Structure 1
Amino acid sequence: MRRRTAGIAAAAVAVVVTAVALPLFQPWRLLTDKVVDEALPGTVPISTTSSSTTPPTVSAHPATPTPVVKPRPKVLLTGKLIAHEHRTSGTVAVLALPDGSRVLRIENLDTSDGPDLKVWLSDAEVVAGRAGWHVFDDGAYRSLGSLKGNHGNQNYPVPADVKLGDFRSVVIWCDRFNVSFGAAPLA
């Protein structure tokens, strides 16, 4: 009788632990990926396909068109992501767009998927290894939003009131467990 009661109690505890642990840790995210491939702001992708069945025409008097030079984004700060809690790589750049706005661009991002991942600007110095996993929420930081995907190229608007000189790094931050997946020093 005792064994049966102990078995039922153990099963009940296992069910409760599983019901709490699964939503908290979301272990299936280790097996999922989300790829985001956003264009660089201010650029228009060039299409090489056409739906027209009419062949192109050639003008009898070709005129030399004046090339239109569109202003390109200006690079303000750059950095290279290093791994912390999870293997992470890619590059970051803060860009000033021709319209005066700013954007954080993450390129070639490769990291693990995880629960509640954010993109932060932080005043913390990037420290390699385990010592750098938890430093980014100790001082000033500014969230630029949720990580859009764990692979690819993505853009995050930098609010006009953000003083870039106040921040030294970009971090992929897991808000659920207060740990850095990866970070890049800004220079």
Structure 2
Amino acid sequence: MKIKTSITKLSPIALIATLLISCESKPPEANVASNASPTPAATVNNKGEASRSGKFVSVSNPTSGQATLSTKGDKNILELDENFKTDGGPDLRIVFHKAPDLSSIAAPPSFGIDAADYIVIEKLKSTSGKQVYEIPKETKLTSFKSVAVWCAKMNKTYGFAILP
């Protein structure tokens, strides 16, 4: 208890200064691991239409940006934002997957996913920038928890975004 005896000898101003100096000044987000999955968001617009969005997390290849699944009129739309970017590949597709977090499912060394757990939406239109995909009406969106950039030729998951 040496600390207690030394604190009692400090003036109130010195005590406050000591406490302030000893506290970490990092913002709360600095305590989050850098490879942790970003928190996805579900929102409802002023028309009562729901949207689900999440940020891409890299798996086998650098992948970034945000994916948003929303309803526009009678159509379900997947939109990749203007910050979307991934590496090129021989046969890249946009897929919906049943699992929310593919970082452990599509793990090294193969980075592959099982055919029973995903559906292909369409070929990836571009490796960067804003793009929009219309989701087939028969797709049961509640069955899928994430969207991924996946190489069909190599069964390799480049990156994914959780859709709450």
**Is the shorter-chain TM-score for this pair beyond 0.5, marking a shared fold?**
yes
2:81 counterpart of 1:111: no
Q: Is the 8 A contact 2:59 2:111 kept in 1?
A: no
State the distance in 2 between where 1:77 and 1:123 align: 15
2:47 counterpart of 1:77: no
Q: Could you tell me which runs of 5 or more consecutive residues in structure 2 were left unpaired when the two chains were aligned.
A: 1-45
Amino acid at match of 1:164: L
Q: 1:145 aligns with which of 100, 122, 147?
A: 122
Q: Is the 8 A contact 2:49 2:71 kept in 1?
A: yes
Q: Could you tell me which runs of 5 or more consecutive residues in structure 1 were left unpaired when the two chains were aligned.
A: 1-70
Q: Is the 8 A contact 2:51 2:70 kept in 1?
A: yes
State the distance in 1 between where 2:61 and 2:78 align: 21
Q: Which runs of 4+ in 1 moved over 4 A?
A: none
**Which residue number in structure 1 is paired with residue 111 of structure 2?**
134
2:61 counterpart of 1:86: yes
**TM-score of the pair, normalised by structure 2:** 0.63
Deviation per CA, 1:69-95: give whole Å up to 9, x if none. Answer: xx8794421111000111110100111
User: Please, what is the CA RMSD of the aligned residues?
Assistant: 2.2
Among the aligned pairs, what percent are the same residue?
A: 28
Name the SS for the 2:132 alignment partner: strand
> How many residues align structurally?
116
2:148 counterpart of 1:171: yes
Q: Is the 8 A contact 1:124 1:135 kept in 2?
A: no
**TM-score of the pair, normalised by structure 1:** 0.56
